[in-house]
Structure 1
């Protein structure tokens, strides 16, 4: 029997921190709008969101191992998978089961909330499952879809889904707030593709670092990073977001060095690594700060 530690590998547990950060934003917008929360429902939403993240991770690990990509990838702390299956090939069926069981957990909790809140959540849930199932085998072969699918999953789908599940109604505020992780998480996956260009190309993947090159993709990265914070400013100026959500801009102090570093070292992977780390920090801290701004506004 595989050990618990080995089973955690395909889940990519260290990367799961992104999920509560994004869920926190949806929880905050729901509380700001409704003035109340159910602790039990918040916990269920978090479990569903973690199940979604685990599912896409485990299925990605399984497919990448089966296609041979894991054997060609030079792993970094931020890219290239967990390395579990190349080291323990016997765990491949377990990784597939983890992905499928996680999808089942997500679906069951989703059915509960759809029955509780209505059809809008069903649309979000179906689209979310579709993104999870098609991400590795299909979406990663279409540059435009590969660019926006991660942000769609962790931004509008997760944030708005959380907001609706907790009793909020669709509003401009939650849509604008969801744009913050939309742009940031798109960038997270975009930048993490830089070290994998050659390996990904060899198995038929086709994302922008392959299609346009790393330097041009770095320009997209810089644009998306600016748009993430511009969404907050525009939301406050337009009267859609509370002024306290500008707390999210505290993280923007990292923007100048990160953008300069990514543009300068796009093709210099050893020197690029620290900026991949700072990019992860932006993804974790910014949604939490914006969420805190919503809570302070209540």
Structure 2
């Protein structure tokens, strides 16, 4: 029988001990984890360690058997059509990153109301079992989503994000005629309205800056390039609402209800640039057809 030991490989190198174990055993509470580490029941290479200890390639992490030999979880049944759709959405891949054109309406990870998301679907494939989400997109947003194939690539991307060296450009259809470029500087705070996570304008919130560049308008709808300088939750959606030009379909942020829309919200992550990389995701047919029909 296998010993209750996790073998650390290059995909987990650099992670904190506590974060690694949370990822391996999601049912383990923080209190349980810290108590086991404190009592020496979790060790690295036979030695007592701190929760913040950084793991190295080749380390052996011994844990109590009840943690290691847990009952296997029920496998999620993934619809073949959904898997095929996601695999067809891959737009770029190299040794460090996988980039997909995320379909509108698909979550990036499982959570409330979602049994699975992009990361769970891809990790079910042997070649992608170590994939890591480098950033996130709202369920309603389509477009460029970057996933890291190793921890070094993940940390490089996150460092670029923190230094504001990742440039993202979104395409949106906004209600109203936006004729001139505008830079919105309005701080945002997160709250919940009608049980939905929502960003609200708040001087005491976090700094948020978005550039809006109109490309044209038809019958009261503007086609706009949106470039977020910062990366707050729902930033573009909240700032568009601040301009009294909510994104078409985005009733959460004041858009008028419309019947028979082909997608929920007309926001698409069209382009992402970082380091020496530049990735572009073609806008989907539902988005373009709606615009052409105006």
Question: Shorter-chain TM-score: which interval?
Answer: under 0.3
Q: Of Structure 1 and Structure 2, which has the larger fraction of its residues in helix?
A: 1
Q: Which has the larger radius of gyration?
A: 2
Q: Of Structure 1 and Structure 2, which has the larger fraction of its residues in strand?
A: 2
Give the TM-score, by structure 2 length.
Answer: 0.28
RCO (CA 8 Å, sep 6+): is it higher in 1 or 2? 1
